[in-house]
A and B are shown apart, each in its own frame.
Chain A
Amino acid sequence: DADVTQTPRNRITKTGKRIMLECSQTKGHDRMYWYRQDPGLGLRLIYYSFDVKDINKGEISDGYSVSRQAQAKFSLSLESAIPNQTALYFCATSDLTSGRLGNEQFFGPGTRLTVL
């Protein structure tokens, strides 16, 4: 099945370490997104990309960077992790060409990140 996958699913790291979260999709969608979810705060957009050459900051991009290596791959990096980046991270995709669905987004399973 066409899908959105994320690796790793769980990660524990220490303050100051660099880590990368990866997202791959087989849906053939152009748009990809990274979100962060904290209890009581809903989901907040970190970065989004509409194609390989297009990267945009979201609400909370400080401390994060991204790379769109291919249409199907979108990675999120924490250059120097800090404890308040402990959260659940989701990747999502949507289809630029499907007007019927508006901007319906499809989410990956999430990565639970803990920074000690």
Chain B
Amino acid sequence: ELKVEQNPLFLSMQEGKNYTIYCNYSTTSDRLYWYRQDPGKSLESLFVLLSNGAVKQEGRLMASLDTKARLSTLHITAAVHDLSATYFCAVDAPSGTYKYIFGTGTRLKVLA
């Protein structure tokens, strides 16, 4: 059974600081997705990582994928309050099923 674990589950950080959110998954997959969700809102796609070593950056966020370690990271550089949200990673289930397994999410709060 494919499991996706994120840590930390909660993160409170000061503006200007750097931090990394981790997403570990339990079976072979080379496709991983990061989403952002604001409270009471829908999920917004942030990054699509489709191969080992993939790195994507948008503003203060950078995501990477290591399929051999079954690990993705979402790195936050010089956090600002607007980044406060819940971040989810999702992994494509084994080949051919085209469905996601979501991590439980990391709730990020950036303090001014």
Contact residues of A with B, CB < 8 Å? 31, 33, 40-45, 48, 50, 56, 58, 90, 92, 94, 96, 101-110
List residues of chain A with CB within 8 A of the CB of B105.
42
A-B contact count (CB 8 A): 56
Contact yes or no, B104 A40, CB < 8 A: yes
Contacts of A44 in B (CB 8 A): 102
Q: Which of B73-112 contact A (CB under 8 A)?
A: 88, 90, 92, 98-100, 102-105
> What's the tally of chain B residues with a CB closer than 8 Å to chain A?
20
Show 28 A/B contacts (Cβ-Cβ < 8 Å), sorted by A. Answer: A31-B98, A33-B99, A42-B102, A42-B103, A42-B104, A42-B105, A43-B43, A43-B100, A43-B102, A45-B100, A48-B99, A50-B98, A56-B99, A58-B99, A92-B43, A96-B98, A102-B50, A102-B92, A103-B31, A103-B98, A105-B33, A105-B45, A105-B90, A105-B100, A107-B43, A108-B42, A109-B41, A110-B41
Residues in B lying within 8 Å of A, measured CB to CB: 31, 33, 35, 41-45, 48, 50, 88, 90, 92, 98-100, 102-105
